[in-house]
Structure 1
């Protein structure tokens, strides 16, 4: 069984994001980029499936700028077998929208015939949380979102989902699309020997045209602004004073 893992190049989660002075978007100049943390968890889970003998090959896919090959090399260093880079834009500020990404992934699925797609539940840059669900609709496959536990047994997958009311466990008929949450696993660090080996692993380059997909944006960014600065806290001397303060702001 093949496992397909889409990975996205995003601003590193440790970096403080800055908005451009003209408000047209986020400033990416000289900013450290890395793999989306949720996608990193998906890569780790795919590798664990292979190590457990439940998968034969792990294929990492990235859709975006040419620099995304760095993100794919990270996935290869972690343990993915090969990679596919779909160069969809030359502008690092141009974010390929979820529907276009899902359509391209559908084309890759038709070619590669994986048994399961493991994806991060969302990207930390746009927080869309839509690609996995759209891909499931396009393929007609079963889907399990927000997975915090995953068990694969033959042609079925048991997924424990994190939902508002707690945990939900569902059983899916494979092939399936599964989006992963933070508590699924702890991603491994790539060792130096594996980083060196990753440079020799195959990476195919494609374009959206190879899959008949138009990536022209359907959305327009009207403006980008930093969140309002939070007001400083207030120190109180007693519980009674705290209650009075809460009453003043209408909290009780």
Structure 2
């Protein structure tokens, strides 16, 4: 299969370039830890279905299924060291996703904020933009390359740098933003649309505060949807399904 600059059919969506942010936990299935290959493949199929529309896709994947820096710090590990370990976990997840996508014929590049030239490309903005223009999926790993910043903030940062039109937050088992945890409260209310400021003032747990502020300051909308819903990613881009939109 040869790489092509010719876009696929884009009739089902008005988006040209998007950022998909998922947690590391989204890749562990029912295991409770690590990578679950069938789950990685399922998520990769969702990404491929959107890529087949001609949409240019950026991805950021968390590392919480392998190691979470903040929890490591809470257990007595020095915070900076713990955060760097978490960054390494995101690289492992990115490589797993790259392998799954390329097995389906989707060309990818794993691009890291920390140099590790033997396994991934260093982050160079103009090079990453060119990969997107060539219809390669760009998976941004190792966060921002700095401790004390989450992968949520990395997703907001890279989405702005890549001129993405929206950030899609793929959640596990949750079809949007609620006023309280719907898994613990039967009376939880789902928002169809909510503002950045409401997310911050009500502590709605969409993304961390730094990421929300970065999205707000650059007028970058967020769409929160259920990643576990088959066909959900493609459906959301076509304006179908259940989701919450976060805007100004």
- The structure where strand makes up a greater share of residues is 1
Q: TM-score if structure 2 supplies the norm length?
A: 0.40
Higher alpha-carbon Rg? 1
Identify the structure with bigger relative contact order (alpha carbons < 8 Å, sequence gap 6+). Answer: 1
TM-score (norm 1): 0.39
Instruction: Please identify which structure carries the higher helix content.
Output: 2
